[in-house]
Amino acid sequence: MLATELSNYYAEVKKHLDCPQQEKERLLCEANRLLLELQADDPFLDYDKIAGFFGEPEEFAGFLMQRVDEKVIASYERRRLIRKCLMRIFVVCLAVVAVWY
């Protein structure tokens, strides 16, 4: 039961982490350590108790995101913006080729 509750909580937290995959893994390991410490104090945890202690998943993700270096986040945002622009250019090129033929 606890494993399911933790999995659900982790999945929700992971959705709200907006950083590179390597950082997500590091932050989730840190979250796991914190949750295991909480479990040691209260072996009968459920989702509501976890959320009561750490906050809702988006709040906990925000807390974890504060531990990410700003340079890493800036670099990640820049790469994501470049990918988004390249994807738009690609779609426009496809549309132009489709209209041309």
| pLDDT of amino acid 90 | 97
Q: What is the mean pLDDT of each run of 10 residues along the chain (101 residues)?
A: 73 89 90 83 78 87 90 93 97 95 86
Alpha carbon distance, N-terminus to C-terminus of the chain: 58
Q: Model's pTM, two decimal places?
A: 0.71
**Residue 83: per-residue pLDDT:** 96
